[in-house]
Structure 1
Amino acid sequence: MTESAGRRPRKRVTYGEGREALLDAAVRVVARGGLRGLTYRAVAEEAGVTHGLVVHHFGTRDALIEEALSHAIRSSLSSSDLEPGTGRPEDFSHGLTEMVDSGPDLQAFQYELLLESRRRPELLSHLRALYDEYFAATRRELTQMLPGPVDEGLSRMVFATLEGLVLHQLVFGEREVIEDALDELRNVLRLLARERDGK
């Protein structure tokens, strides 16, 4: 028997890699069609597995959404160099544009969920908890970079700038313009560090 046209062949996956593959598939489904298109069957078809496997791994659609969001944010944090740990402005968010180019679905997925949370407030607590990871990573890196205390307002402003640049690259492309904007942000951080240091 042959596979139906347009269907992916089913494959055997191990527990760990299967879960990761299903999360990646969920991210792609939402990035392309919004949260309303996220069904067990859509994820299973995208991953090339049975829908029963999706049910087995996640149990509920809400659990799938929550874990896919956590997966997307972990992946973004690890690939963006948001927190390189060096405390040097030139290293800050060095991998941001590459992250968008290599994983646009991860970013689109997060924006889809942010917008969907306006219609489904029950998503907001999950988003807030996971975005707190972004805010904390930004603040930790700024604390290494800048003399004196870094308040929440400054760290949120810097993160909002980065998030806006990611959105613009995702929608408009223009990687070179985004790289220029990131260089300007790093220059502002250098100036702020010098000013706080009294030099």
Structure 2
Amino acid sequence: MHDNMAISDRQQALMEVTLRIIGRLGVDGVTHRAVAAEAGLSLGAITHHFSSRDSLVEAALHYALARETGRLRALSLSLQDHVMDIDAWIGALAAWYARELKTDAEVHIACYEAFLAAARSPRYRDIIQQWFFIWQRSAELALKAAGSTRPQQHAELFVSALIGLVLQQLAAPRRNFRRDAVALLTGLVDGLLGRR
């Protein structure tokens, strides 16, 4: 279940429903009955694909992270046009997250649940490491182009700040998230690079 292309349409739909439940109620809110009710399927249809609740949750979290990793790769490629202009890169990044958090907040919450699951169990760690690697590599390229003398370290700080901002927005939404994120991330980069 690590590869989104290897699952059926029905399984993908079950993953989406499970993620919405995780986003609303947390991992403990997932039951076969809850997924069946939200998906409009019989209980037997759910247990046919996932014999245990743990296998359902694990599959959904892997699906979420694999999906987000793919989306982050695509975003990273789209941001390459802005990589030489760090301010444009930060602006595009903040705009992307502002849209994402309005339209797909539950999936992002589920991804944070996957981070916690990885803290408890090694089976989630590989995909979490891929997620971080993609973000850090993208940030490293942008920061190097902007003149960072320590792009790897600066990228780690940048990604940590971004993850924190997204988590904060999910937990305590700001009305002007995009504007605030641009200001905070630009301030961080200015400090790291000694700009202005």
Q: 1:91 aligns with which of 74, 89, 92?
A: 89
The 2-side partners of 1:114 and 1:145 are apart by 25
Q: Once the 2 structures are TM-superposed, how far is the Cα of residue 113 of structure 1 from its aligned partner?
A: 4.3
Q: Secondary structure at the match of 2:41?
A: coil
Q: Within 5 Å, which residues of 2 pair with 1:109-120?
A: 109-115=110-116
Corresponding position of 1:47? 39
Encode CA deviations 1:24-80: one digit per residue, 9 max, x unaligned: 111122222222221111111111111222223234333322221122224444179
Corresponding position of 1:128? 125
Corresponding position of 2:108? 107
Q: Secondary structure at the match of 1:174?
A: coil
Corresponding position of 2:4? none
- Structure with bigger helix share is 2
Q: Bigger radius of gyration, 1 or 2?
A: 1
On the 8 A contact 2:20/2:106 being kept in 1, the answer is yes
On the 8 A contact 1:22/1:47 being kept in 2, the answer is yes
Q: With the length of structure 1 as denominator, give the TM-score of the two structures.
A: 0.72
Q: With the length of structure 2 as denominator, give the TM-score of the two structures.
A: 0.73
Corresponding position of 2:138? 141
Encode CA deviations 1:123-168: one digit per residue, 9 max, x unaligned: x3233222212211112212321336633x4333222211111122
The 2-side partners of 1:175 and 1:81 are apart by 27
On the 8 A contact 2:140/2:151 being kept in 1, the answer is yes
The 1-side partners of 2:191 and 2:47 are apart by 52
The 1-side partners of 2:190 and 2:43 are apart by 51
Corresponding position of 1:156? 156
The 2-side partners of 1:55 and 1:61 are apart by 9
The 2-side partners of 1:114 and 1:100 are apart by 18
- Gaps spanning 5+ residues in structure 1: where? 1-14
Q: 2:58 aligns with which of 57, 60, 66?
A: 66
Q: Once the 2 structures are TM-superposed, how far is the Cα of residue 98 of structure 1 from its aligned partner?
A: 1.1
In structure 2, what residue type is equivalent to 1:70? H
On the 8 A contact 1:30/1:37 being kept in 2, the answer is yes
Corresponding position of 2:189? 189
- Gaps spanning 5+ residues in structure 2: where? 1-6
On the 8 A contact 2:143/2:155 being kept in 1, the answer is no
